Structure 1
Amino acid sequence: MLITNVSDLQPLVKSKKVTPSRAPFRLQPCGCGPRDRRGTPRVERARRIAVLVGQTDNAYRRSILWLYSNAMTARGMAPTIRIADNNEGQLSATEVSTRLLQGKDPPDALITSSSVFAEGALDAARWLGVDVPGGFMIATVSDGPIAEQARPSITALRLDTSAAARRLLDLLARRLHNGGAAAAPATMTLDLTVRESTLRVG
């Protein structure tokens, strides 16, 4: 399934800091990976990036699509959005990713909304003989044991769930005590965990 109209999506999640770059998808490892003669990490940028999300229409999904679509269109690139069947999970992600990689102009990078979908994409690349990360980089917005234990391991955004739970309880307590909503929306920092699936040598 392909989404072509994303103009009605609204930003629901904001990153704490956004650093503009000429490329829309550049993952730079800190303290690891290949380096040049000056000791600077060498990371090859993606040429074309796709995104794979589930069917459920919620704030999480809309935020991913909004941020991704804005990043692509701001750089003159057409968004490539694919939908996986939530009930089929990894199998659906494998099927969708297989068709994507077999297309006329396949992407060389994929962002997924879950680590289950990321592993499905990894299965598709393996089945087609596409090297990860050499020919196809994979990253997921949702970290967990699946991304960590995959081979190759999958780059992911990690949320401190303990800190998020404490923040949620604090907000609920304040609302009950004050009888109203919080004065400002709470923000949580996401940590980028760079792993083998995006360590492409330039």
Structure 2
Amino acid sequence: MGTVAVVGGGVIGLSIAWRAASAGWDVTVHDPTPGAGASWVAGGMLAPLSEGWPGEEHVLELGAASLARWPEFGDRLQRATGCDLFTSDGSLTVALDAADAADLRTVAEWVQAQGHEMRVLTRAEIRELEPSLGPRIRLGLLAPTELAVDNRILVDALHRACVEAGVRFVATAVDSLDALPADRVVLAAGSASARLWPGLPVR
């Protein structure tokens, strides 16, 4: 197959490294502290539908396609490592005031119009679903197909799967992509990516 250098050992970099090594590539991950960046402090929410907004059709399409792939990807990783990744299915977003409630209705109507399942819940429905929520909740938005993972277990599982698949780890920072001796280079360094690829619009 050839060689692959992955710059960045977060969820994206480790996922690519694992799958590439599993497919027969000779893979090296370059990261001084794999999994210690944004992937370690993330919320683990797989919620592209709840975060949708009118005018962002392409973002919603990409997020929904990613969400649809997560169950198979997560199941494969769980089988490979024995780690239990998923913490919930379905997400509930709540509104505390009239402005928040109006925003949730906007999201619900627009996301439903794009063909995705979302339900607006009344106060009574919210209390039935989540009795511990306070009485100030005005409205809820339920996305039953969204998921959540434990991000730190995910990072550990990916690292373990990479090691078992034969991925090598180099704990030195990369100063130039051109200096990497590989057939393919994957840049997955998060906020540091713009330093290695000037002009990359990372925000």
Q: Is the TM value for this pair above 0.5? A: no
- Greater strand proportion: 2
Q: Which has the higher helix share?
A: 2
Q: TM-score, normalised by structure 2?
A: 0.23
Larger CA Rg, structure 1 vs 2: 2
**Higher relative contact order, chain-length normalized (CA < 8 Å, sep 6+):** 2
